[in-house]
Amino acid sequence: MANMRMDKNPMPEQDPMIRSANFDEVALGYSPEAAMDEARRCLNCPNSPCRGGCPVSVRIPEFIAKVAEGDFATAYEIITSTNALPAVCGRVCPQEKQCEARCVRAIKGESVAIGRLERFVADWHMAREDKAPLTPPASNGHRVAVIGSGPAGLACAGDLAKLGYEVTVFEAFHKAGGVLVYGIPQFRLPKEIVAAEIAQLEALGVRFITNAIVGKSLTVDELFEDGFEAVFIGSGAGLPQFTHVPGENLLGVYSANEFLTRVNLMKAYREDYDTPIKRFKRVAVVGAGNVAMDAARVAKRLGADSVTIIYRRGRDELPARKEEVEHAEAEGIAFELLNNPAAILGDEEGRVTGIELIRQALGEPDEKGRRRPVPVEGSNWVLDVDAVIVAIGTSPNPLIRSTTPNLVVTKKGGIEADEGGRTSREGVFAGGDAVTGAATVILAMGAGKTGAKSIDEYLKNK
């Protein structure tokens, strides 16, 4: 008999006052009892609408039924039959717009907490001491190169390795994981989790070469000359966009990517690391997506007294996940909605002293249906800050496209690829943010899996 409780079992969390001064994980995870209780809220709908909302079609009601029975091992097998990174996805997927948005229980009350259950099962598995060690399957003798070690590259590498391919991942940074390690902060996604997923791939025989920038250290064509028979490009969209208002070159202006990379990947928040980062007192973050929320919450944890999100639209249009906005607010992040930067102001030494803002009103909807912000004349005002972090979006880096002849790209600079991830170059496949522009972990992972399938077909028929 289903548990007819209307709301989700609450997620235990660190207290906001305590967590805003540390980098430990905010959400603490369900206990087995809470997970089983939550799983019993699932109605096991025969047509599984939730599954249709998942870009990698996790068999959601099936795994949840196993959680309800307390059979967590089978639940894990069911999830991982389609999702290679469940501990990651359970933490960072926008479930409220995907699987949970389609849950029948959400018609009256809250949806089943599918993401929390996925995380529970993945963490339960990770903590298990009696796991059978993974061993690499017998090699089929074919070599594939994967460029980039974010979710797209990892998913592609994992699926190919399981099929017996000899996979080498080339990563520009000194550590594998893509945005999962350099962008999303430790308090949302502990780096040990990403490291464990990467260790699993290594156990399957995947080789990682870090500090290898394709387009600089070596080119796509050189990969083929070296004997790789296919290449998957999963190089993401790490090139920051800027506002181009006057003053953006002042000291104290960061792109969110640089700021987060210093802190997350290069551990600037830890005394035992040499990475320099200035601890600012009053910080403005321009933008209101997940990246902006992460940058704001990191700035707070580094000791800022005030952190303000500047967003040109209103509350209803905030692009970040609802949970991230709520967490940010609980931690004391301020929001200046309906405001847009007009200039960044500085002192005679070139250091940021403030940000000039202009109030906005919402006009007619744009092509995406979102109401367009319109500046209110004469409404300029100044917010005193000593740092400005710009988080208004990123695009694919031009390095690979500019060093790979005949690789067709889209108007927005993404690599053009068909639904199977095939590009204009024979043997070259692509997926994730490198193709779509900045999107989500699960979409990148799905594209990596699709790419692996296409590479397998291509090499079998070659």
Ligand X SMILES: Cc1cc2nc3c(=O)[nH]c(=O)nc-3n(C[C@H](O)[C@H](O)[C@H](O)COP(=O)(O)OP(=O)(O)OC[C@H]3O[C@@H](n4cnc5c(N)ncnc54)[C@H](O)[C@@H]3O)c2cc1C
Binding site for ligand X (CB under 6 A): 92-94, 147-153, 170-173, 178-179, 183-184, 212-215, 234-236, 238, 260, 290-291, 294, 397, 399-400, 432-434, 438-442, 444
Smallest gap from Cβ 371 to ligand X, in A, equals: 24
Long-range contacts of 448-451, Cβ-Cβ distance < 8 Å, separation of 24 or more = 448/151, 448/152, 448/153, 448/154, 448/155, 448/156, 448/157, 448/159, 448/232, 448/234, 449/56, 449/84, 449/155, 449/156, 449/159, 450/419, 450/420, 450/421, 451/152, 451/156, 451/232, 451/234, 451/420, 451/421
Which of 66, 250, 220 lies closest to 148 in space, CA to CA? 220
Question: Residue 300 or residue 359: which is nearer to ligand X going by CB?
Answer: 300
Smallest gap from Cβ 4 to ligand X, in A, equals: 31
Dihedral sign, Cα of residue 191, residue 192, residue 197, residue 202 = positive
Question: Residue 397 or residue 454: which is nearer to ligand X going by CB?
Answer: 397
Question: Residue 442 or residue 455: which is nearer to ligand X going by CB?
Answer: 442
Question: Residue 11 or residue 212: which is nearer to ligand X going by CB?
Answer: 212
Smallest gap from Cβ 408 to ligand X, in A, equals: 18
**Cα separations in angstroms, 75 against 39, 96, 397:** 11, 21, 39
Smallest gap from Cβ 262 to ligand X, in A, equals: 13
CB 46 within 8 A of CB 110: no
Smallest gap from Cβ 33 to ligand X, in A, equals: 27
Which of 223, 201, 222, 246 lies closest to 80 in space, CA to CA? 201
Smallest gap from Cβ 73 to ligand X, in A, equals: 27
Smallest gap from Cβ 276 to ligand X, in A, equals: 20
Smallest gap from Cβ 286 to ligand X, in A, equals: 14
Question: Residue 39 or residue 400: which is nearer to ligand X going by CB?
Answer: 400
CA–CA separation, 345 and 249 (whole Å):
10
Question: Residue 168 or residue 440: which is nearer to ligand X going by CB?
Answer: 440
The residue type at 379? S
Q: How far is CA 238 from the centre of its chain?
A: 12
Question: Residue 126 or residue 265: which is nearer to ligand X going by CB?
Answer: 265
Question: Residue 264 or residue 308: which is nearer to ligand X going by CB?
Answer: 264
Strand partners, 382: 356
Strand partners, 371: 365
